[in-house]
Amino acid sequence: MNADGDHGEMPFRLRDFDPYFSFASIHRFGKTIDTLQTQLMFTTRLALHEWERKHWITMAVGAIAFLLGSLSTEVMSGGDPMQIGTEGIQSLSGVVFLQMLISMILWVWFAVQIWSMFPIMRTNAIWLLVFWNCFVLAQILYHQANPNFPQNLVLSETMMGTLIVLMVFFFIYFFWKAVLETRDLHIEEYHLHEDVRLMEMEMAEHSLMGWGFMLVSWTGSTMFSAWAGTHFVADRLDVGTFTLVLHLMAGLVSIPIFMLVIWYPQRMLGQDTVVQVRAALLANQELSDSSQEPSADSDSSCPECEAPVAITRNKSGEIQLPCPTEGCSKTCTIGSTCSSCKAAAPTRYDCPSCGINAPVMDFLSDVEAW
């Protein structure tokens, strides 16, 4: 279960870890907390053991990009609220504009590195970054009519922001489900065993409880960071710099959690896996099977001697058979002429094995004829 497709070599196993403090003896739900502890310990220890220099550099670049975008004299002073759009950008000082440009470049570099390092998770990773920005947009819509949000809440003023948040929750849920079902398929493919106890052991080793907790933590931290940053800009006179500090802390925590959320499924499943829900996988298989052209030796045969014949039906449903002209090796379609010798395609065919002459449709199977 490592990145190069070999699922047997591991520096240590999940079953080798014990919780720092056991809650099972205190409360009946303590066993779940203990399991969560061990999985988080295992994930973080494995990341510290296996992450290379490029992982840490990418994380640092993401943190720098976040700080450059959050800390500027324009943000601290509030800028001129009467200037918007291109006028607002043109009113920025050269230093602030350069800082904003560098932040954008570093964010792009961060996304490109994530795309290259995590091939099976690249699409999901980019979408998570988009969702982070969606949370910011939702908070802007919340604070647009109510700078003290969530105080003095008016439900009619939160519809657009809530719609964006619900949409993001919907896609994050399907991301979680896709990873979960891909994990199940991975176990069925690589760790299938007739002994039920060994299967249960492998399922426990591939548990995603800790990963799911990290995904929920990332969602919560990005939402809180978006709220704190927007709240600081919307109502800085009442809140001071306290919410800005909360924004920075939550945002900086979100970056390593984001990388763990993207890295761990690839580490578990390998780089040859496609992360998708089971229904999408089955649909792709059906489309792949239906797009394959039927072969002559399996789909057409003589109705008398059952010998295979060279009659096929293409993707468009047209029946094709060998040209009847001697010396011509082309195939022609019923209802047309040969592209080489211009001979008309016959509607009857002579079996080369038994010599029976029958309509072309009789040589196709029932499924093929339908």
Per-residue DSSP letters for 195-247? -HHHHHHHHHHT--HHHHHHHHHHHHHHHHHHHHHHHHHH-HHHHTTHHHHHH
Q: What count of other Cβ atoms lies within 10 Å of the Cβ of residue 107? A: 18
CA-nearest of 161, 168, 175, 205 to 187 is 205
Amino acid identity, position 370: W
For 86, the token pair is: 């291109």
Amino acid identity, position 328: C
Chain centroid, CA 10 distance in Å: 25
Identify whether the C-beta of residue 14 lies closer than 8 Å to the C-beta of residue 205: yes
For 316, the token pair is: 């468009």
CA-nearest of 270, 217, 262 to 122 is 262
CA-nearest of 262, 286, 290, 285 to 275 is 262
Identify whether the C-beta of residue 115 lies closer than 8 Å to the C-beta of residue 126: yes
pTM of the predicted structure, to 2 decimals: 0.70
In DSSP terms, which residues pair with 300 in a beta bridge?
A: 364
- Side-chain-side CA neighbours of 309 within 13 Å: the count stands at 32
Cα distance from N-terminal residue to C-terminal residue, the chain: 45
In the block, residue with structure tokens 């045969």: 301
Mean pLDDT per block of 10 residues along the chain (370 residues) reads 48 71 68 82 89 94 92 68 60 76 94 92 92 93 83 82 93 91 77 67 78 94 92 70 88 95 87 72 61 48 80 71 77 76 79 81 55
User: Which positions ≥6 away from 143 have C-beta within 8 Å?
Assistant: 149, 230, 231, 233, 234, 235
Amino acid identity, position 89: I
Provide the H-helix boundaries in 11-121. 30-50, 53-70, 73-77, 85-90, 94-117
Bin 317: left if φ > 0, else alpha if -120 < ψ < 50, else beta: left
Provide the total of helices (H) and of strands (E) in the chain, helices listed first.
Answer: 14, 5
Percent helix, strand, coil in the chain (nearest 5)? Answer: 65, 5, 30
223-240: b (≥16 Cβ within 10 Å) or e: bbbbbbbbbbbbbbeebe
Question: In the prediction, which pLDDT does 296 show?
Answer: 37
For 326, the token pair is: 């001697």
User: Which positions ≥6 away from 45 have C-beta within 8 Å?
Assistant: 12, 17
In the block, residue with structure tokens 């924004």: 247
For 163, the token pair is: 């719609």
Please state, in angstroms and as integers, the Cα–Cα distance from residue 246 to each residue in 65, 223, 249, 359, following that order.
Answer: 17, 12, 5, 80
For 19, the token pair is: 């919780």
For 1, the token pair is: 């279960």
Identify whether the C-beta of residue 161 lies closer than 8 Å to the C-beta of residue 141: yes
